[in-house]
Amino acid sequence: MENGKPLKGHVALITGASRGIGLAIAEQLAGMGARLSLCARGAADLDRAAAALRHAGAEVFAAAADMTRAADIARFAEETQRNAGPVDILVNNAGVGRFGAFHELTEEDWDAVLDTNLKGVFLLSRAIAPSMIERKTGHIINIASLAGKNAFVGGSIYCASKWGLLGLTNCMAEDLRGYGIRVTAICPGSVATEFSPPSKKNPEKMLQPGDVAHAVAAIVTQAPQSFISEVLIRPTQKP
């Protein structure tokens, strides 16, 4: 540990990192000394986020990538390992939501959500895992949701993606634990970001992006002989 920075020398890859939860996680891990690799679909927002992080002293590699496109994922994984180094911490945070009664949603809605929230996690984790297996170390953290455990009106496709993500996460953990790689799902309730669907909830009582980032920090600094398989995060007051 150098100057109180427990992640000094570690590389953290974070998807959906241009704003909201992803940016909060990037700020948290950079403050702990990690070198960052960041992606998001919007190049302009990503460039602004990366510039702010560099101004604060972080080492940052950033490239636009669409987590629904296998070619983008493969390219970004390769560029990360070439420019930043082998990935020690992978945070699969990118996510989208399409909300409404299931019988009024479209196949395009289904594909957009499932390809981002589930297939993209599978493809990127599969691209990064071999290096972790070779080094017998690593953290993979999937940002899931309490929607992966609880149904709600209008949430059919989003809930399906997050229920699937929890199943994928649990199986990844079993496949990789023998190599010293720890896989965790974080399941927050509604977080006060632009992503949250319109509601009457008080944003001041909702979870904040930093609450999720704090959970990530706890996971990546736990003792080596154990791992936290799942974290549920709720606000102290119901919004």
* Strand locations in 96-218 (E): 138-143, 181-188
Which is the catalytic residue, given 61, 76, 158, 163? 158
* 8 A C-beta contact, residue 215 and residue 231: yes
Buried b / exposed e over 117-132, threshold 16 CB at 10 Å, is: bbbbbebbbebbbebb
3-state percent helix, strand, coil for the chain, nearest multiple of 5: 45, 15, 40
Nearest to 169 by CA among 155, 149, 190, 186: 186
158 part of the active site? yes
Backbone φ and ψ of 187, nearest 5°: -120, 90
CA–CA distance, 86 with 94 (Å, rounded to integer):
20
Q: Which residues participate in catalysis according to the annotation?
A: 158
